Structure 1
Amino acid sequence: MALKHAILVLLEQQPGSGYDLHKRFQQHMGFFWQASHQQIYQQLKGLLTDGLIVGQDKQQQGKPDRKVYHITDSGKQELIGWMHQLSKPLKINDTLLVKLYGGHLVDSEVLLRDLQQQQDSYRKTLAVLQQLEQQYQALAESQKQPYRLPYLTLRRGIYHVQGWLAWAEEASQLLSDWQ
């Protein structure tokens, strides 16, 4: 996925400044796509140059002006065209897996420590995802409509983290047994 398309998706839903986009990106897409503030601003420049978005200066009381971005008709057509393209299967670059692959070079305690740290992080992520799911489930049926498709991404995240944690338990057990 190109970052520009993620930004276009966010702007299609609601205009925003670079800061707003970064915040919304972290809140809504941060579980499955990472982007720094710098990367977002770099993409915004390109999107402006390509005519896919427009920026409007907005005055603020007691603060510097900020630029609020809106998707253009061309931007929406670009986004729709991208949506029609087939997605490529996910490929991962996982440092832990490389360490495990070459793990014969170190004591298994080193690997277990790394694995444990990641398990802790994944458990925290799972708790957040499950809390978001509970919030969605608590909505009245009439309120769920705009969140149905984002809910699918949430469910995918939950399955991913649960699967990773199940694998990590198995890996921990095997590493412990081999000590």
Structure 2
Amino acid sequence: MVKFSLKPTADKRWQGVQRHYFTVFILKNIVLVAFIGLTIAESVLISKWYKEMWTHPQSTKLDGPVEFWTRIGIALIPDVIITFVAIFCMLTQKWHPITALCSTVVLSALWLFCAVINSLITYSGETIYFANMDYRDRWDAMCFAETGLQAAIAVMYMVMMGFAAKAVHVWRKGPRVLAYRDVEETS
């Protein structure tokens, strides 16, 4: 991955200012790893806190983790899958600008949606009831940290979207592989 950010690629579609797509991609992956670490820590703590605190008669043991992964996994799971596909395609010089543009549009919308939902859920405090306010303060801090990382990832995807759009523009202006033939002149 570093070779794409430090030297130009052989693919003409990614030469020029749009080559910085790969640099932002690396930065996004670093933030994504930090987000995954924070998510794992919160998942472990929320499972522990949920068992201690939740006493609602209609709840099950899975309510806490299911609610947690619903608000986190909507963007995280597709992003991890697309990141692995993108890494493979970049290493084999097959990452097409249209694929990059479509994936960045979808993932920036997903991450922005998750950041807004996560902040609203955390601010309202309706997901989890904590009898111990120390747990609540720790959970709020972790959720707002996650929200900040989600927003940072969304912004990075928006920047990558601009570079991918530039690469699509260069690709569309470039020479076509198939030449245009007038059907009337060839017959």
TM-score, normalised to structure 2's length?
Answer: 0.48
Between structure 1 and structure 2, the one with the greater Rg is: 2
- Which structure's residues are more often strand, by fraction? 1
TM-score, normalised to structure 1's length?
Answer: 0.50
Q: Which has the higher contact order (CA 8 A, sep 6+)?
A: 2
- Which structure's residues are more often helix, by fraction? 2
